[in-house]
Structure 1
Amino acid sequence: MTVSRGPAPHSGPESQPGGAIPGTTGDAADVLTALGRSWTWILGSAVATLVPGILVLVWPDETLHVLAVLIGLYLLVTGVFRFVALFAREDHGERLAGLFLAVLYVLAGVLCLRNPLQTIAALSLIVGVLWLVSGILMLYPVIAARDLPHRGFVLAAALLGIVAGIVVLALPTESALALTRLLGLWLVLLGLAETAVAFAWRAALHRAGVTGP
């Protein structure tokens, strides 16, 4: 889940939409930083989670191969969103943890797309571990940053990720249909949580006098 780190940017001529600094827009790192702090980027991550969740729930009778492809694509896209989001974090320790998680998502997506690993147990293990680790890492900014504008929403999303990971890992999935419904449900719930975080961040930016995405 992509969550911007730290307080909302200050208002005034020194601040640009998304927290970019004037005169540095040509630098790739500054562009990624501004993009990572944008509430629309967080909303994009929410959509990338919601869409596969809805597709999985709408077509629950599809084969395990189709489920593996959907989950694999979801993990790959989420890895890209997490990679860009880490540029919005000022603490190097948080950036390192974010980079580790982004790489983990990409590798997990590749594993899901590989035919030899398209089994119910493998999919449950991959997704369950990722959600659990992601939720635990999301707790750090909630605890460390008391002035986080959307702290309550991030806390709820982090706890939801932890619970989702535990449920997927603990509950036995005896069929592809059961796994499909379980993963689809949690993807939709996580996507809705990310949407709430995105709009909370948008409200924080508006309160700070920052316009635009």
Structure 2
Amino acid sequence: MTMSRGPASPAGQHPGPDGAAHRPAGDPADELARLGRSWTWLLGSAVATLVPGILILVWPDATLHVVAVIIGLYLLAAGTFRFVAVFAREGHERLAGLLVAVLFVLAGVLSLRNPLQTIAALSLITGAVWLVSGILSLYTAISAKDLPHRGVVAVVAVLAIAAGIVVLAMPTESARALTRLLGLWLVLLGLAEVGLALAWRSALRKALPRGPGAPGTSA
């Protein structure tokens, strides 16, 4: 999951501790943009990735139906987080983010459909989503020169690309092995996104005004 280009807010507006600029209430787009810039939103996305991976790893004998539901709900949740984050972006980054969000939601719906509940189909869907989203995130990390912690974003993107390639290339003879592989990559991606959220929090805190009367300082 990529971040907005920078923690800077429009003139006269200072970001809060969660990275959200204080704007007049009432505009849904502004509210979604404020939420999408929040480091806690990135952390929520990381948790939505990490928890399904842990469930799959600690429940290796779960039925295929259960695994499909876990993967499907993960993809739907990830798509929702990415959709909100789109409002914190600008220009071509917004379009790329929207495409990724739609891709995650569609993949989640497909994963929850009974006719597609085979481990091979789940691996194909999840691997393709990781590969495409990783490529788009890597493009953002390279092209957005003013993106805070570009290196962290690039690492997460490369990890997603690697996850997609490995899952797509894995032989399908062993459903148990593929299930554990999906769980392992979910955990790794979740931990990487936790690191991304913490890096974003650090960037936001550095952007906070430091002076008399500024939030978090004494007059």
Fold shared per TM-score above 0.5: yes
**How big is the alpha-carbon RMSD for the aligned residues of Structure 1 and Structure 2?**
1.7
CA positional deviation for 1:175 = 2.5
Q: What are the superposed Cα offsets for residues 150-186 of structure 1, whole Å, 9 maximum, x if unpaired?
A: 1111010000000000000011132321111100000
CA positional deviation for 1:12 = 8.6
Q: Secondary structure at the match of 1:89?
A: coil
Q: What are the superposed Cα offsets for residues 41-85 of structure 1, whole Å, 9 maximum, x if unpaired?
A: 000000000000000000001111111010000000000001000
Answering whether residue 47 of structure 2 is matched by residue 47 of structure 1, we say: yes
Answering whether residue 196 of structure 2 is matched by residue 200 of structure 1, we say: no
- The aligned counterpart of 1:168 is 167
Give the letter aligned to residue 205 of structure 2: H
Instruction: Return the alpha-carbon distance in structure 2 between the equivalents of residues 62 and 143 of structure 1.
Output: 40
Instruction: Return the alpha-carbon distance in structure 2 between the equivalents of residues 190 and 39 of structure 1.
Output: 17
Q: What are the superposed Cα offsets for residues 74-121 of structure 1, whole Å, 9 maximum, x if unpaired?
A: 000000001000101022x22112111111111111111111100122
CA positional deviation for 1:10 = 5.1
Instruction: Return the alpha-carbon distance in structure 1 between the equivalents of residues 6 and 153 of structure 2.
Output: 13
Instruction: Return the alpha-carbon distance in structure 2 between the equivalents of residues 16 and 147 of structure 1.
Output: 18
Instruction: Return the alpha-carbon distance in structure 2 between the equivalents of residues 13 and 96 of structure 1.
Output: 28
Give the letter aligned to residue 186 of structure 2: L
Answering whether residue 104 of structure 2 is matched by residue 111 of structure 1, we say: no
The answer to which structure has the higher helix fraction is 1
- The aligned counterpart of 2:212 is none
Pick the structure with greater CA Rg: 2
Instruction: Return the alpha-carbon distance in structure 2 between the equivalents of residues 10 and 30 of structure 1.
Output: 12
Instruction: Return the alpha-carbon distance in structure 1 between the equivalents of residues 110 and 23 of structure 2.
Output: 41
* Greater Cα offset, 132-141 or 167-176: 167-176
How does 1:1-213 map onto structure 2 within 5 Å?
Answer: 1=1, 3-9=2-8, 14-17=13-16, 18-23=19-24, 25-91=25-91, 93-209=92-208
Instruction: Return the alpha-carbon distance in structure 1 between the equivalents of residues 99 and 9 of structure 2.
Output: 30
TM-score, length of structure 2 as denominator length: 0.90
Return the structure number with greater relative CO, CA threshold 8 A, min gap 6: 1
TM-score, length of structure 1 as denominator length: 0.93
Instruction: Return the alpha-carbon distance in structure 1 between the equivalents of residues 9 and 65 of structure 2.
Output: 48
**Percent of aligned pairs with the same amino acid:** 68
Q: Secondary structure at the match of 1:101?
A: helix
